[in-house]
């Protein structure tokens, strides 16, 4: 009897060895809950509301460096900064090194205001964030910015692109792209060099990486911190869908803090159903951070917001 059992065991072992190796089974993710689906829809509705608002990127009509000397602003074809719905000569910014002054053009209707008061010739001042007084005429408004140079940033609530807004496009919500990542903190914060579309550079602290698995392969993303955000982990990333369906310049994703804080190992939920487009996806008159090399993923993530422009 003993020999018979041993022989039978050998037969089973031999038969098992002859079978091809089987890939480990992958568990199917649990469906998104009604609450999660509602949260995704609320987020998408909010993004749509932003694009319809007076602060919409679709209303951006100028983002230009301010040169030395005179920079004219208005609707005249000869204006260095052309604002179609402003008076012919709204005003002139004169720059001499780090000194900027503004001189209004001829009186016009509606009247030009500076910080809500009738416009007069005056020096341009900047607050702690590098933003000047606000200049408003009718549907047009602009500020000057001081960061890695001097810039004018102008908006128009009657911009054709804003009036023609046709809604956003999204992938269908998919539980496979809501992942629980492992948070791996750095021993000490690192500095991440982020370059934006117009060449400005910021050096932001990063405290670790989020490591996650998709389709059986491991990936990681390195966030910075978005101060004041409800979900302050801020990821600028690109995946292979940027070649076909999503914005070529990459997308943004926010997440809550890791469950044990920034300095301890833990987990963080990355819901790519909430991936969104940067401002640059909607207007050439914007700047936005580009994905650093370590956040350019060799994987397809068909989740979140698609391209706005076909």
Instruction: Please state, in angstroms and rounded to a whole number, the distance separating the CA atoms of residues 43 and 158.
Output: 26
266 and 183 in contact (C-beta within 8 Å)? yes
- The pLDDT value recorded for residue 310 is 67
* Residues 6+ away with beta carbon under 8 Å from 177: 214, 271, 272, 273, 301, 302, 303, 304
- What is the bridge-based pairing of β-strands 217-221 and 224-225? unpaired
Instruction: Please state, in angstroms and rounded to a whole number, the distance separating the CA atoms of residues 156 and 74.
Output: 12
CA angle 148, 150, 154 (to 5 degrees): 120
Residues 109 and 234 in one domain: no
In a domain, 263, yes or no: yes
Q: How many Cα atoms occupy the beta-carbon half-sphere of 24 within 13 Å?
A: 5
Residues 177 and 280 in one domain: yes
State yes or no: cis peptide before 110, omega within 30 of 0. Answer: yes
Give residue 271's domain range. 34-53+167-295
- The pLDDT value recorded for residue 17 is 38
In a domain, 15, yes or no: no
CA angle 310, 271, 228 (to 5 degrees): 95
151 and 65 in contact (C-beta within 8 Å)? yes
Last residue of a domain, one of 113, 144, 163: 163
For residue 149, give the 3-state DSSP assignment.
coil
Q: Tell me the β-bridge partners of 136.
A: 113, 141
Radius of gyration, CA atoms only, the chain: 27
- What is the bridge-based pairing of β-strands 140-146 and 178-195? unpaired
In a domain, 16, yes or no: no
Residues 156 and 228 in one domain: no
85 and 74 in contact (C-beta within 8 Å)? no
Count structural domains, the chain: 2
Last residue of a domain, one of 163, 187, 221: 163
Residues 143 and 267 in one domain: no
The tens place of each residue's pLDDT in the chain, 310 residues long, gives 444 444 433 333 333 334 344 444 456 788 999 999 999 999 999 999 999 999 999 999 999 999 999 999 999 999 999 999 999 999 999 999 999 999 999 988 899 999 999 999 999 999 999 999 999 999 999 999 998 899 999 999 999 999 999 999 999 999 999 999 999 999 999 999 999 888 888 899 999 999 999 999 999 999 999 988 899 999 999 999 999 999 999 999 999 999 999 999 999 999 999 999 999 999 999 989 999 999 999 999 999 999 998 6
Instruction: Please state, in angstroms and rounded to a whole number, the distance separating the CA atoms of residues 114 and 133.
Output: 6
CA of 87: how far to CAs of 136, 138, 142, 194, in Å? 11, 10, 14, 38
DSSP track, 13-78? HHHHHHSPPPPPPPPPPPPPPHHHHHHHHHHHHHHHHHHHSTT-GGGEEEEEEPPSEEEEEESSTT
In a domain, 281, yes or no: yes
CA 144 to chain centre: 22
What's the pTM value of the predicted model, to 2 decimals? 0.86
For position 98, which CATH number holds? 2.60.200.20
In a domain, 152, yes or no: yes
In a domain, 18, yes or no: no
H or E element that contains 6? helix 2-18
Residues 122 and 211 in one domain: no
In a domain, 77, yes or no: yes
From the CB of residue 59, how many other CB atoms can be counted at a distance below 10 Å? 26
- The pLDDT value recorded for residue 222 is 98
Q: How many Cα atoms occupy the beta-carbon half-sphere of 134 within 13 Å?
A: 8
Residues 191 and 269 in one domain: yes
* Residues 6+ away with beta carbon under 8 Å from 233: 210, 223, 225, 226, 254, 255, 256, 257, 258, 268
Q: Tell me the β-bridge partners of 144.
A: 152
């Amino acid at each position: 009897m003993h020999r018979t059992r041993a022989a039978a065991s050998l037969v089973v072992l031999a038969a098992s060895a002859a079978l091809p190796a089987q890939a480990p089974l992958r568990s199917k993710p649990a469906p998104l809950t009604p609450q999660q689906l509602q949260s995704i829809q609320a987020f998408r509705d909010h993004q749509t509301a932003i694009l319809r608002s007076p602060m919409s990127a679709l209303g951006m009509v100028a983002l230009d460096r301010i040169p030395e000397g005179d920079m004219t602003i208005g609707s005249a074809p000869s204006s260095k900064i052309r604002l179609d719905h402003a008076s012919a000569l709204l005003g002139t910014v004169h720059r001499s090194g780090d000194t900027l002054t503004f001189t209004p053009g001829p009186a016009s209707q509606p009247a030009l205001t500076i910080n809500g008061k009738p416009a007069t010739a005056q020096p341009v001042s900047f607050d702690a964030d590098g933003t000047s007084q606000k200049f408003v005429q009718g549907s047009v408004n602009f500020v000057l910015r001081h960061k890695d140079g001097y810039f004018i940033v102008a908006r128009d609530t009657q911009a054709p692109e804003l009036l023609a807004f046709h809604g956003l496009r999204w992938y269908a919500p998919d539980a496979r792209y809501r992942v629980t990542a492992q948070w791996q903190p750095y021993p000490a914060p690192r500095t991440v060099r982020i370059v934006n579309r117009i060449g400005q550079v910021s050096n932001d602290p990063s405290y670790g990486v989020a490591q996650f698995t998709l389709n059986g392969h491991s990936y990681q993303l390195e966030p910075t911190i978005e101060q004041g955000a409800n979900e302050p982990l801020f990821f600028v990333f690109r995946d292979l869908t940027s070649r076909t369906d999503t914005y070529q310049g990459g997308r943004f994703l926010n997440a809550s803090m890791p469950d044990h804080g920034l300095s301890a190992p833990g987990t963080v939920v990355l819901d790519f159903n909430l991936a969104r487009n940067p401002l640059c996806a909607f207007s050439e008159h914007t700047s936005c951070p580009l994905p650093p090399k370590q956040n350019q993923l060799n994987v397809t993530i068909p989740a979140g917001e698609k391209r706005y422009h076909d």
